[in-house]
Amino acid sequence: MPASPTPTTADELRGAGLRVTAARVALLETVRDGDHLGVEAIASGVRDRVGHITLQAVYEALHALTAAGLVRRIEPAGHPARFEGRVGDNHHHLVCRSCGTVADVDCAVGDAPCLTASDDRGFSIDEAEVVYWGLCPDCSNRRSS
């Protein structure tokens, strides 16, 4: 039996119940091709792919894609929101205190939700969000030299 074809970005949008537009396809592909991009960088990437798009349209599309589970929004304290295409695996992030670089890090320990709360207060926990703070290798090297 032949393997089923990989769904296109348009198929994924349809599967999430979203209307397929050139801007949404470009936005989702920009987020997935990028590395924890901010809204301005996403808008620039979309413009490179399809031409003009307003910042408001980018915000609205990001909201829809995030609500549909196709994009993940992260907002490290003191930093603007960033978006990524790695969703559904409960991974965590490393954030550089100096330059703001964000990098993925797999689950801290065990299976999702990765951490066990000392007191769940009756909550049914299905996700844990951990942010590790420190200095990236470049910033560490600059500080030590």
Position 3 confidence tier, pLDDT thresholds 50, 70, 90 = low
The pLDDT value recorded for residue 143 is 86
Average pLDDT along the chain: 90
The pLDDT value recorded for residue 67 is 97
Cα-based torsion angle of the residue sequence 101, 132, 89, 31 in order, rounded to the nearest 10 degrees? -20
Q: Would the pTM count as exceeding 0.85? A: no
Q: What is the DSSP string of 65-82?
A: HHHTTSSEEE--TTS--E
The pLDDT value recorded for residue 134 is 93
Q: Shortest CA distance to 38 belongs to which of 86, 67, 79, 92?
A: 79
The token pair that represents 133 in the structure block:
């703070």
Q: How far apart are CA 31 and CA 36, in angstroms?
A: 8
63-109 pLDDT, tens per residue?
A: 999 999 999 999 988 889 999 999 988 788 999 999 999 999 987 66
The pLDDT value recorded for residue 116 is 74
Ordered alpha helix ranges (H), 9-145: 9-15, 22-33, 39-50, 55-67, 137-144
Cβ 29 vs Cβ 70: under 8 Å: no
Residue 75 backbone phi and psi in degrees, to 5: -140, 80
